[in-house]
Amino acid sequence: MAQNRRLNDPQTLTGQSIVDDLGVTPLINAGGPNTKHSGSRPRLEAIEAMEAMSEVFVDMDELLLAAGERIAEITGNEAATITSGASGGLVVQAAAAMAKDDPERITQLPITDGMPSELIIQRGHRFVYDHLYLAPGSSFVEVGRPTDSTIEEIEQAIGPNTAALIHLESPYKETFGVPLPELAELAHAHGLPVLADCASMLPPRENLSKYTAQGADLVSFSGGKAVRGPQSTGFLIGKPEWVEFARLNNAPNPGVTRAQKVSKEEIAGLLAALEAFVSVDEEAETKHYRDQMNFIIDQITEIPGITAEIQHNYDHYIPHAVVTFGNDWRGPDYSEITARLKAGSPRIYAAFDYRPNPNHMWIDPLNLQDGEVEIVAEQLRKILIEAASGG
């Protein structure tokens, strides 16, 4: 047994040796920074900063305050703080909206007696992760329909128990609903904050300051998606007052978010990743991804029944190779194709649409390592050709 244990041997330690030792088969991640498929590859700068940060001890409040200031500076915002993923940021947002800087309220949550605890959300902004908003004891007041909602409906829902208005920016949300600037104007007229979930809206890097400029008081971003910081990190940016409320409601302080602590190493890793992220030439990066995706499209474009094209828009944060299955497609649907990719050798994870009755899937180049785009193109081509002929 003992001779199989290689996790402590620096001579032979590699990612492959770790998964071999554990009996886990790795995969090629061609589906983007999905948490269930292990997120994104942390930048080298982040890994190095984490290791270096392990050498020192600090007062965590001081570190979090200083790191927040640095993130504000890097991202062009007034204030910022660090969270345990964008999901952790949603919990902190809701806690901040209810308890603000009141120490008794902060420790009382998730019991919300005596404080406004309702979060108004447009039905078209409901999302698989939005339950995190409810974790500190808050509840939703839903307005509008899945396909639309109006500013009047939101205004009518505001009452003495309202703590905040929620706004989502995410690919495939069902409706754009009320534009953020109008929502923010309404919220501020009632002395309420707008809490925005913009977790995956990077790149483009300009979004780092876009939603705060449009009036959101707290915006939650992932640090473990395309920023490529530690997978468990996120950050909140916004108005100094609300960012301070968020920090006071966040770990390491005792309270409902105590289970969401972020280590000093992860904090340093996120800072290093963000600095690197903002200094990348986005045009060159985009061209690189586009070239990779064109390579894949060239391999599959002739296959009958599908269209293969690059999409780079609100729904696709970097250029993706999107495969759409047409009415004349004779093979199995997207879920079977992606399952076959994942069952293959090597295993490949590809992304697909969350909306009902999806008819497409795509390749996301964010996590492709050297040499992998060729493998993905070949496997995808093979599986699609087999499937197209009824295989």
Ligand X SMILES: *Cc1c(COP(=O)(O)O)cnc(C)c1O
Residue (90 or 363) nearer to ligand X, CB: 90
Q: Which residue is nearest to ligand X (CB)?
A: 85
Shortest distance in whole angstroms from residue 173 CB to ligand X: 8
Task: Pick the closer one to ligand X by CB: 22 or 128.
Answer: 128
- For tokens 């409320």, name the residue: 245
Nearer to ligand X, 175 or 294 (CB): 175
Q: Give 234 or 331: the residue with its C-beta nearer to ligand X.
A: 234
Between 223 and 331, CB nearer to ligand X: 223
* Residue 33 or 319 having the CB closest to ligand X: 33
Say how far residue 352 (Cα) sits from the centre of its chain: 16
C-beta of 90: minimal distance to ligand X in Å?
A: 7
Token pair of 219 as six digits: 């915006």
Q: How far is the CB of 85 from ligand X (least distance, A)?
A: 3
Q: What are phi and psi of 322, to 5 degrees?
A: -100, 125
CB of 33 to ligand X, least distance (A): 8
3-state secondary structure of 185: helix
We find the least distance from the C-beta atom of residue 278 to ligand X, in angstroms, to be 18
Q: How far is CA 293 from CA 119, 205, 305, in A?
A: 41, 21, 19
Which of 291, 289, 297 shows the shortest CA–CA distance to 377?
297
Q: Are 263 and 256 in contact (CB under 8 A)?
A: no
Q: Which CB sits closer to ligand X, 115 or 166?
A: 166
**Which one, of 342, 349, 315, lies nearest residue 38 by Cα?**
349
Minimum distance of ligand X from residue 331's CB (angstroms): 30
Which two three-digit tokens encode residue 98?
């209810």
**Whole-angstrom distance, CA of residue 242 vs CA of residue 100:** 8
Give the span between the Cα atoms of 104 and 50, in whole angstroms. Answer: 35
Cβ of residue 262: shortest distance to ligand X, in angstroms? 12
Residues engaged in binding ligand X (CB under 6 A): 35, 85-87, 127, 129, 170, 197, 199-200, 222, 224, 234
The number of beta carbons lying within 10 Å of the beta carbon of residue 174 is: 18
